[in-house]
A and B are shown apart, each in its own frame.
Chain A
Amino acid sequence: MANRAEEVAMSERDTGREALLIKAFVGLADTLVDDYDVIDVLDRLAGYSVQLLGVESVGILLADAQATLRVVASTNEQTDWMELLQLHADEGPCVDCFRAGAPVNVDDLATAAARWPRFVAALQERGAYGSVHALPLRLRGQAIGTLNLFHGAPGPLPAADQALGQGLADIATIGILQERAIRRGEVLSEQLQAALNSRVIIEQAKGVIAQHGNLTMHAAFDRLRHYARSHNLRLTEVARQIVKTDLTADVLTAPAAPKPAASRR
């Protein structure tokens, strides 16, 4: 616990963050007690992480049955950024974090080029990234995926941010596992498989919406998410109906989402 002097010295950032933290905590808890869509929860979680931790971009990856990491949520839904996240999962701090089941902090990307040449080069091509921090989604001493924080400036992740980030990563794990009542211990690989297939459905639906509405993949995802949330429908179910039948026109004619609270690049 912080002592009194430290409390008085609490910076404005912390006061603002406390309000945000309450919003994030209540919002996530509210979602998790109801019937929810796992990709939607992970998307919300990524959005909150950007706000709470002051990072540029957040990506969440889950391991498939082959222990290959796959992108399930990203605050940037553009194709090239998601490809970069995937590269990060093949060669980068993300996969090291997953294998070790422990955080991997790259405080200064400029010094990491020798270790992960392709990943660092791809990231630097996109400009303003200084550091990357990968936190494990932990379950009984194992990692089932990673939460990745991309900062604009180099520098270490402050201890409080590290703890908060790990808390958010743990909520992601709970969200994935609780999506359906856990009946047996072996249920984990089934849950992961279903979450990963949901992500494929969402990518297919983004394509349909992007084509019909002449939108970028990121804008297409925004429309999809806004429609699902404003109609109180499951994200994956809306995506499935877009691919299978024709819900696309409804999604595109619904009013566009107001600027989301989470900063999106």
Chain B
Amino acid sequence: MKKFFVWAVLVLFLFVSGPALAQTGKPSGEPIKIGGSLGLTGVFAEQSKWIKGGYDAWVEEINQKGGLLGRPVKLIMYEDEGNTDKAVTFFERAITVDKVDLVFGGYPGTINVAIMPLCEKYGMVYISMGGHMKSFQQGYTYSFGSPPLMADWADIAMLGIVEDLIPKKDWPKSMALLTMNNVIGESTRRGLHGVAQKLGIKIVVDELYNLPLSDATPLVSKARAQRADIMCCLSSFDDDVMLTRAAKGMNYNPKLAFHSIAPAQPAWMKELGEDGNNAITFHWWNARLKYPGNDAINQAAKRMYNLPAAPTYFGFGYCWLKTLEVAVKGTGSLDNKKIRDYLRSRSFDFPYGMGVKFDEKGLPPPYAIVTQTTNGHNEILWPKDQATAKLAYPKPKWSTK
């Protein structure tokens, strides 16, 4: 029994120190290594899959064009199962064992929140969607959201829709807020409260619910009873689907169906079909933006998945690595400190926006891209100069087939 123990501890010790000893004296190798982890299994698998696709697309493109600083790029990606504890360990593995030159962004927000301080300590630039506003307010200098996922900017979206796209005489008068109890939901709700006050819209229903949602009926029923002009589903995919189907089921036709980010997922239109149309949502990158670089993204998505337009998180992943690329090329080096300073020193044209200048938090100036789901596409409604479709207001009634 005790012998077993001795062997166990010795094996453990060797396992731990062996590779450590073996690492010394190994040559640094030609390819530029970009490392980190994503959760391709577990509850965040779907989005992680798209992000990985975006990363792969960028790697393929850059290697075809002669590499980064003349060297090929290699991704070292570990599987964290969406688990914060594992993500922290794997990012450290990438940084301290694989000795990667650069680090890529993880997913989702809660993991990013833990990785941002980690990269701060290791002095590695971390470009990701971030972990919402508070994570960018911790004084980290190495973190950037390029683009970020910033539900706190939801007010920009709603203001844009109402003020720019709807004639004043037709402005909606009432709003029903159905909000999931998490950071995204809370931030969006706060923003919309501010907008409602500014535009004189009455909030007639204001319900928060814990995830996972078991029954959408009471929530939508309240909104319907109040005949709210705007139905806001500040939800994740599952509950947004439930709320939307319930609205159809009880023949509730709001003038505007405003959603959080769920309808931007490809599964929304694919699975809901016609019922998923005319969902107004907002995001921070869209395949139809006319900014430079989006053609490459869409072509890659078509090649890899045979999709007409790149999914949101695919574009996100590509943009995050693109940002790294721009800074590496700009500084001509892989020195993370130089890259960080470069990113903070000037403005850039990215596939998600022109003239982007990062503030002291590492965020671009507040913005949002408002879209409307239409027959399989996320058409852009706002900003107006990027619009690819017109807002269907009031929302067409549910089809009864």
Q: Answer yes or no: are A and B bound together in one complex.
A: no
Query: Which B positions have Cβ atoms within 8 angstroms of A?
Result: none
